[in-house]
Amino acid sequence: MKAKKKRLSPSWLKRKRELEALREETEALEAHVEFLRIKRVPAEASSVNTFETLEQKAALDRERQICQAALDENRFLKSRLQVYVNLSGQLRTVLTAAEQQKTQLMIMSITAARTLRIESGAGYQLRLASPRVFDMLEKRVNARFRELEASFSDIQQRVPSADTELIQIYSKNGDRDTGIVESKRAQLLPFQETAISAIVWSIVELGGFPDSQDSRVIRRSEDVYAVDSRLTVCLGNGESVSLNTHSVMKRFVVSTGTVLLLESNSNWASDFEDSGSWVHTTDEGGCFVISSYALNGSRDPGDLSQLHSELTLKPSGPPENTSRYSKAGPRTVHDVVIPSFREIIESRHQFVENALFDCLRTTSVA
């Protein structure tokens, strides 16, 4: 039997198989490349996300630190505020107690001064005025206010930077029996206008100055007080003069500050060994203008105020029910009445200043 001859593969078939092999190899390589690409992308994303996360964490830590610092400062401020609130309450308590103590001391000083003067004036008693007398005095106050109302701003402008005082004594028409005294004082005080007004008004409410031996206070309205008072003025020779006064004090609030007007009628009487018993009656008028003092043209109220006071004493008609007394002579008027009036003015000005400085010292200590 004849052997079959092996059939050779044609060249095109060989090339076909090579191409298929190459195609399979190419597809395998492409699959491997795709696999590698897919595997690489998460790694890159992971590195990017890690960097962004670190920055965010650092920023978050900074914000947390700032927030914690703010919370700590808030707690500190709250604790300080509570301390100040407690301290304010304690200061308010101390100031209230100091104010009460100041009022008590003022009352005690007035009472003590009156008690010390009882012995020298024991022979005289307080005389009470009728309501119509106070009506007349209040009418005089109102008329006086209408006269001076336009000049209050001028009075404020005339107050100099240094304290001044002027006392004039003169006689009307050359008659020495009509001795008239005018006292003007302008001064700056290191207190607010409201403080000075309050102190002076409290003195009126308490019954006058401590030199008054006895007094009766009648409140006619919120801004008007009527006062009956008696005081004894001790003279240098050991003798004394008794003074009974009926007065009305009225408070006015004006654009420049506070104005206090006073109108009074006084009965002077004494028993002298050399001249016997005598009597002298006078009318008194007073004007007190209290206002804030502006420094360097500033209009802001400060702790500096100006006090302008004017007081006048002049003789009035003969007193009633004084048959056992003779009329005071010119020498008595000029040697006793006028010096005594000046002494009263000086002592009362000094008392007001002392009360103001006592109030300032008490407030500073509190």
* Residue 11 within any structural domain of the chain: no
pTM of the entire predicted model: 0.61
Alpha carbon distance 4, 120 (integer Å): 177
* Residue 121 within any structural domain of the chain: no
Same domain membership, residue 27 and residue 166: no
Q: Identify the CA nearest to 257 among candidates 297, 185, 305.
A: 305
pLDDT in tens, the chain (366 residues): 455 555 556 777 888 888 888 888 888 888 888 888 877 766 555 555 565 677 788 888 888 889 888 889 888 988 888 888 888 888 888 887 777 777 766 666 555 444 444 444 444 567 787 889 999 999 999 999 988 877 776 665 555 566 788 888 877 665 555 678 899 998 888 888 888 888 888 888 877 676 666 788 899 999 999 999 888 888 777 778 888 999 999 999 988 889 999 999 999 888 666 656 778 889 999 999 998 887 655 545 567 888 889 999 988 865 555 445 567 666 677 778 888 888 888 888 888 888 877 776 665 544
Residue 106's domain comprises 16-116
At residue 115, the pLDDT reads: 47
Alpha carbon distance 242, 155 (integer Å): 34
Number of folded domains that form the chain: 2
Contacts 24+ apart (CB under 8 A), 77-82: none
Same domain membership, residue 21 and residue 130: no
Same domain membership, residue 351 and residue 281: yes
State the DSSP string of 249-278.
EEEEEETTEEEEEEEEEEEEEEEETTTEEE
Q: Is residue 208 classed as helix, strand or coil in its secondary structure?
A: coil
Domain boundary at 116, 141, 174, which? 116
CATH number of the domain to which 220 belongs: 3.30.530.20
* Residue 202 within any structural domain of the chain: yes
Domain boundary at 59, 92, 116, which? 116
Same domain membership, residue 78 and residue 212: no
Report whether 256 contacts 193 (CB < 8 A).
no
Same domain membership, residue 133 and residue 240: yes
- Distance of alpha carbon 195 from its chain centroid, rounded? 6
Domain boundary at 51, 85, 116, which? 116
Report whether 215 contacts 95 (CB < 8 A).
no
321 phi-psi bin (left φ>0, alpha ψ -120 to 50, beta other): left
At residue 302, the pLDDT reads: 62
Report whether 230 contacts 144 (CB < 8 A).
no
Encoded tokens for 294: 């502006």
